[in-house]
Amino acid sequence: MMVMVRAVKGTKDILPEEMPRWQLIESTARNIFATFGFEEIRTPLFEETELFHRGIGEATDVVSKEMYTFPDRSGNSLTLRPEMTASVVRATIEHRLELYRNPLRLFYIGPMFRYERPQKGRYRQFHQIGAEVIGSDHPAIEAEAIEMLLLLLERLQVRGSELVINSIGCPSCRPDFLNLLRNAVSEKLERFCADCRDRSSRNVLRVLDCKQETCQEPIESLPAISDHLCEGCRSHFLQFRSWLEKRRVPYQVRSRLVRGLDYYEKTTFEISNGLLGAQNALAGGGRYDGLSALLGGKPSKGFGFAMGMERLVLALPEEAVKESSSTPELCLVPLGEKALEVAAGVASKIRQAGKGCYLEYEARSLKAALRSADRIRARWALILGDNELQTGQWVLKDLTAQTQRLITETELLEACASGAGKTQILF
C-alpha cells in the first residue's frame, strides 16, 4: 500500500471549522492596532541567514539549534524566519521608513518557523501577531504598546492573563552585572542543577529563570539586576512603570524575567496565561535599541512584542466566536443533465448579480439533494426538474418554514438585484 503523505511534524492544517476563530483574532487585531496608528507590514518568509545570526545572536537557542537553514540553488544560505523583528528592522533600514514616520508604528501577522519538539501550544510552523515602534525610546510608548496588547486580549474576552515586566540593563551596565552574576554562581556552583552549571558559562542570565526546586534557594541569594542598573536604565524603568500605572495597567516586576533573544535591553515583558499548559507565554517583547545599528542601519531605537496565535486560539473563549456563516443561503437543485445546464446558467447570473448560491451537481435523488442542502445549512432550495423546465415555473422551497411556492427565472433574478451590497438573496 502507498504510504500516506501527512503534514510534517510540528505543522498542522487549520481546517474551515476553526477558521472563524483565526479570522476573529486577525480582524480584531487589525481594528485595534489601527486605532493606535499602527500600519501592517509583510516581509518575506525567508531571509539571508546572516540577518538572524547578527540580529538574534549566535549564542541564543533560536539561532544555535532551532532554525530552518538551507542553501538555495545558488548556494546562498537562507533561513525561514524564526521571528519577525529582525525582518521588520531590516525592511525599515532598506526602505528608509524612518524618514516616512517617526516613530514608525508597524504590525504584522504571519507564520514563523522553529525546529523544536512540538508540544501543547508549540509548533514548528506557528503564527505570530506582533507590533514594533521604531524611532523612539520614550518609556510611554512601551506602556502604550502593552496597553494595545491588553486591549486586544480584552476585546477577545481572553481572561486570566498576567503581565510581568523587568529591565535587563543595557550595554553600559549589563556586562558588569553578568560578571558579577557569573562569579556569584561559580562560588556555589555545586548547589545548582546540572542545567544551571551549564548555563553559568553559556548564558548566565538564564540561571535566574531556572524552575528547578533545588535551584530556587541559591537563586534567591544571587544579585538582582534591579540593584545593578545604570542610572539611565533605572530611571527609564521607573518611568515605564509610572506610565503603566497612569494607564492603570496591573503588572508584576519579576527580576528573574529573561528573554531569549540577544537584542533586548532595558524593558522586557511577558504576558502569560494559565489556560495554555506548560508553554504559558502568550506574548512577549521588549526594547531593542541596538538592533538597527547591528543590522547596518542608522542607530534607531525600537520596542516591540509578538504574540503566539496558536496560544491565543487556545485561550480564546467559545463565546467570543460568534456564529457568522458567509456561505450561500440558496441551493440550486437540478434533476437531470438538462436541468443542470439550465441551473448552471442561472447560477452564473445570480453570481454576476453579486449574490451566492450552491449548485448541486450530483443529485442522485431529490431526497438526497434536499438532505445535502439541509446539511450545508442552505435556507432555500430551488428545485429544477422536468416539470419546471416545461412550465418555466420553478419550485422555491423554504427549508426553514417548510413551505414552497412557484417562481420564474425573471422573478428570481429580480430578487437577486434587490438588497444592494448584501450577498444573500432576499426573497
Partner RNA sequence: GUGAGCGUAGCUCAGCUGGAUAGAGCACUGGAUUGUGGCUCCAGUGGUCGGGGGUUCGAAUCCCCUCGCUCACCCCA
Give the count of residues interacting with RNA (CB under 7 A).
69
Contact call for residue 260 and RNA (CB under 7 A): yes
Does the footprint of RNA cover residue 92 (CB under 7 A)?
no
Selected from 73, 248, 322, 375, the binder of RNA by CB under 7 A is: 375
Using CB under 7 A, pick the residue from 87, 200, 280, 300 that binds RNA: 280
Taking a C-beta distance cutoff of 8 angstroms, is the pair 324, 19 a contact?
no
Nearer to RNA, 232 or 385 (CB): 385
Binding residue (CB under 7 A) for RNA from 278, 318, 322, 420 = 278
Question: Could you give phi then psi for residue 42, rounded to 5 degrees?
Answer: -125, 130
Which range in 162-170, 238-246, 248-256, 396-404 contacts RNA by CB under 7 A?
396-404
Q: SS3 for 64?
A: helix
23 three-class SS = helix
Residue 26 lies near RNA (rule: CB under 7 A) = no
Closest CA to 222 of 169, 193, 175, 180: 180
Query: Contacts with RNA in 331-370 (CB under 7 A)?
Result: 335, 364-368, 370
Asked if 61 interacts with RNA (CB under 7 A), we say yes
How far apart CA 394 and CA 385 sit, in angstroms, is 8
Per residue in 338-363, is it b (16+ CB within 10 Å) or e — as a string?
A: ebbebbeebbeebeebebbbbbbeeb
Closest CB 117 distance from RNA, rounded Å: 3
Q: Please tell me the distance from the alpha carbon of residue 327 to that of residue 2, in angstroms, as a whole number.
A: 36
Strands of 358-359's sheet in order across? 358-359, 330-334, 380-384, 394-398, 403-407
Stretch in the footprint of RNA (CB under 7 A) among 45-53, 148-156, 248-256, 381-389: 381-389
Site membership for RNA, residue 53 (CB under 7 A): no
Strand order in the sheet with 77-80: 46-48, 77-80, 68-71
Nearer to RNA, 212 or 352 (CB): 212
Which residues touch 358 (CB under 8 Å, ≥6 apart)? Answer: 327, 328, 330, 331, 332, 373, 376, 378
Residue closer to RNA (CB basis): 313 or 353: 313
Is residue 117 at the binding interface for RNA, with CB under 7 A as the rule? Answer: yes
Q: Are 181 and 209 in contact (CB under 8 A)?
A: no
Stretch that binds RNA, among 3-11, 27-35, 139-147, 324-332 (CB under 7 A): 3-11
Of the ranges 98-106, 156-164, 177-185, 380-388, which one interacts with RNA (CB under 7 A)? Answer: 380-388
Output the 3-class SS for 138-151.
CHHHHHHHHHHHHH
Q: Judged by CB under 7 A, which of 69, 136, 239, 279 binds RNA?
A: 279
Stretch in the footprint of RNA (CB under 7 A) among 19-27, 36-44, 171-179, 256-264: 256-264
Cis link prior to 103 (omega < 30° from 0)? Answer: yes
For RNA, which residue of 40, 50, 245, 386 counts as binding (CB under 7 A)? 386
Comparing C-alpha atoms, which of 358, 377, 355 is closest to residue 422? 355
Q: Give the residue with the Cβ less far from RNA, 325 or 402.
A: 402
Report if residue 15 touches RNA, rule: CB under 7 A: no
Q: Is 393 in the site for RNA (CB under 7 A)?
A: no
Please provide the DSSP assignment of 385-415 as one string: -HHHHHHS-EEEEETTTTEEEEE-HHHHHHH
Q: Does 307 bind RNA (CB under 7 A)?
A: yes
Residues 129-188 that bind RNA (CB under 7 A): none
Q: Which residue has the cell 486580549?
A: 153
User: What dihedral do alpha carbons 115, 116, 121, 123 form, nearest 10°?
Assistant: 30
Q: Which of 22, 33, 52, 123 binds RNA (CB under 7 A)?
A: 123
Q: Kindly state the smallest distance separating residue 98's Cβ from RNA, in Å.
A: 23
Which residues sit at the interface with RNA, rule CB under 7 A?
A: 1, 6, 8-9, 12, 60-62, 66, 83, 114, 116-123, 126, 128, 195, 199, 206, 209-212, 258-261, 270, 277-284, 306-308, 310-311, 335, 364-368, 370-375, 383, 385-388, 395, 397, 399-400, 402, 404
